Amino acid sequence: MTEPRPNLQVVSPGPRPTPEEQMLPVLQLAFARLHKAAFGVATGIAGALLMALATVVCLVREEARGFPLGLLGEYFSGYSVSWTGVAVGMGWGFVVAFVAGWFVAFCRNLALAISAFLIRTRAEIEQTRNFLDHI
């Protein structure tokens, strides 16, 4: 008994996509909206790690102890250049960087929305500019 043959279909190549159609996914990715909370969390984690790293470097290295990192305690309540200050600094670093990242994502999304609106409006005006000439 012979094995059944798979149903093979010959696919003929269709029309090639135009350069505009090829660029569409790239443009959609470039102009995609940023998720504000996700961008805020990402920048918050980076800010927390940077703050912890700066504090640990000042604690461990002799030559870095003269760096006035303790002045951040004037802005961040409870922060000092100590091992408990590492945790407090991470918390403040996360909060400050989260707010900054959220705001950057908000401003980028707003700028993209305004740009898209203006481009679309100009294109619609250009299409209807000679409308009365055709009547």
Task: Say which residue, 64 or 72, is predicted with more confidence.
Answer: 72
Cβ–Cβ < 8 Å for 97, 46: yes
The confidence score (pLDDT) of residue 18 equals: 86
Q: Give the domain ranges of the chain.
A: 34-125
Triad 76, 77, 79: Cα angle to 5°: 70
The model's pTM: 0.75
The model's pLDDT over 15-34, given as tens digits with 9 standing for 90+, comes to 888 888 888 888 888 888 99
The confidence score (pLDDT) of residue 28 equals: 83
3-class secondary-structure state, position 5: coil
